């Protein structure tokens, strides 16, 4: 059992390194706003269509940035869940336990 726990710990460390390098992009406004996050949820890139950059569209632009960020974050959570499922062999995590962060 201890050997299996150490193997899982080593695999978790490898997965965390992989997540730091992973980039996932969320989009909103039909692709007019794009936010790219790494696998740990840190923002890496922001792309805004120039047509949205004017005083009249400031509120819309703010909403689209938030929507794109949330889209990317949701994709990261799904990817992490899939990787954890692969790592743990499909065993469910205890309630309330979210890995790796």
pLDDT tens digits, one per residue of 23-38: 999 999 999 999 998 8
pTM (2 decimals)? 0.62
13: its two tokens = 């460390």
* DSSP annotation of 97: -
Peptide bond into 74 cis (omega under 30): no
pLDDT computed for residue 25 by the predictor? 93
34 strand-pairing partners = 27, 47
Please state, in angstroms and rounded to a whole number, the distance separating the CA atoms of residues 71 and 68.
5
Task: Give me the chain's average pLDDT, please.
Answer: 82
The beta strand positions in the chain, using DSSP E, are: 23-28, 33-38, 43-48
Q: Helix, strand or coil for residue 43? A: strand
Does domain 23-76 fall under CATH 3.30.1310.10? My reply is yes
Q: What confidence category does residue 97 fall into, taking pLDDT thresholds of 50, 70 and 90?
A: low
pLDDT tops 80 at residue 71? yes
Instruction: Give the domain ranges of the chain.
Output: 23-76
Signed CA dihedral, 77, 24, 58, 30: sign only: negative
């Amino acid at each position: 059992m201890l050997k299996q726990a150490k193997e899982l710990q080593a695999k978790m460390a490898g997965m965390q390194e992989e997540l730091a390098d992973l980039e996932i992009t969320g989009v909103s406004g039909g692709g007019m706003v794009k936010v790219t996050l790494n696998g740990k949820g840190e923002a890496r890139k922001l792309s805004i269509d120039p047509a949205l950059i004017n005083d009249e569209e400031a509120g819309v632009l703010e909403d689209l940035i938030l929507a794109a960020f949330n889209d990317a974050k949701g994709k990261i959570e799904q990817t992490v869940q899939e990787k954890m499922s692969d790592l743990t062999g499909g065993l469910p995590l205890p309630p309330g336990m979210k890995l790796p962060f």
